[in-house]
């Protein structure tokens, strides 16, 4: 049974709230990053299940969400990337962590930030659930002010890694990757998923799965269970592979 402890993470002048789920011995770590408009509650149930496998899990609330929701209109991608780095560093310093392996699991906007994080911190496993994609310009602009029509047009075509910060990081990532797509996603088109997929040129393994009938937010309970099953099975495979001496599935495991 994992122990649950709240943690306060310092980011510049701010404090963001998180929850550690800690097993009883040194283990791999898993950092969860929720999507725009979400909060750590989206990940807590899955984090508990993964902690039960023998992983140290950290969920947290990005600034502009949960307790700091009133400031959302002021928050930029730069602000939230700093949140993610601070949360990662908090996880990396935990005494229960086996420093040999950290997984980062992001959803939508959180997946976009997770991809960028791989170029800034050491990540062994990367899970991207309906990963969003944004233009590099206006990086410091509050995210709420980004033009949705421009974003929709940008995501509808294929994007090469050059000139996109998240995809550039993906192109250099040497670890194991899971991409989970929703079949009926009204926000993230299949073209965006394929831009991510094709960017992972150095990945040790790549698994691509589609949740049938699911929308972007996984509003259907069946879709939620399917996502949880895919994620937990993949983490189990990765963790067991690490404990057996670093064996992992190789090549493209996509359907």
- Residues whose CB is less than 8 angstroms from the CB of residue 54 and which lie 6 or more positions away in sequence, other chains included: 23, 25, 27, 28, 239
CATH of the domain at 160: 3.40.50.1820
Give yes or no for residue 255 having a pLDDT over 50.
Answer: no
Mean pLDDT of 151-178: 97
> How much is the pTM?
0.89
Give the chain's radius of gyration (CA, Å): 17
d(CA 117, CA 133): 14
Query: Angle 206-128-69 (CA atoms, 0-180°, nearest 5)?
Result: 170
218's torsion region: left (phi>0), alpha (psi -120 to 50) or beta?
left
The number of distinct structural domains making up the chain is 1
Give yes or no for residue 253 having a pLDDT over 70.
Answer: no
d(CA 91, CA 53): 17
Domain extent, residue 10, equals 3-252
Phi, psi of 99 (to 5 degrees): -65, -5
Judging by DSSP bridges, how do beta strands 125-129 and 97-107 pair with one another?
A: parallel
pLDDT digits (tens, 9 = 90+) for 40-87: 999 998 999 999 888 999 999 999 999 999 999 999 999 999 999 999
pLDDT digits (tens, 9 = 90+) for 199-227: 999 999 999 999 999 999 999 999 999 99
Phi, psi of 122 (to 5 degrees): -80, 115
What is the structure's pLDDT at 241?
75
């Amino acid at each position: 049974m994992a122990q649950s402890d709240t943690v306060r993470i310092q980011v510049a002048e701010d404090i963001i709230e998180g929850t550690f789920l800690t097993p009883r011995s040194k283990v791999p770590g898993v950092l969860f990053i929720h999507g725009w408009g979400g909060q750590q509650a989206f990940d807590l149930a899955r984090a508990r299940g993964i902690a039960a496998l023998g992983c140290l899990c950290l969920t947290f609330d990005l600034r502009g969400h949960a307790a700091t929701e009133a400031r959302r209109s002021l928050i930029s991608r730069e602000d939230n990337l700093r949140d993610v780095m601070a949360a990662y560093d908090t996880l990396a310093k935990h005494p229960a962590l086996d420093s040999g392996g950290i997984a980062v699991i992001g959803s939508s906007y959180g997946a976009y930030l997770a991809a960028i994080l791989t170029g800034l911190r050491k990540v062994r496993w990367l899970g991207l659930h309906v990963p969003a994609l944004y233009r590099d310009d206006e990086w410091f602009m509050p995210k709420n002010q980004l033009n949705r029509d421009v974003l929709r047009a940008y995501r509808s075509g294929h994007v090469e890694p050059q000139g996109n910060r998240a995809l550039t990081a993906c192109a250099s990532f040497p670890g194991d990757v899971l991409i989970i797509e929703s079949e009926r996603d009204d926000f993230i088109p299949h073209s965006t998923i394929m831009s991510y997929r094709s960017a992972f040129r150095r990945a040790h393994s790549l698994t691509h799965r589609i949740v049938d009938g699911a929308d972007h937010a996984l509003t259907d309970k069946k879709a939620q269970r399917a996502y949880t099953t895919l994620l937990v099975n993949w983490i189990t495979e990765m963790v067991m592979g690490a404990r057996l001496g670093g064996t992992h599935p190789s090549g493209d495991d996509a359907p």
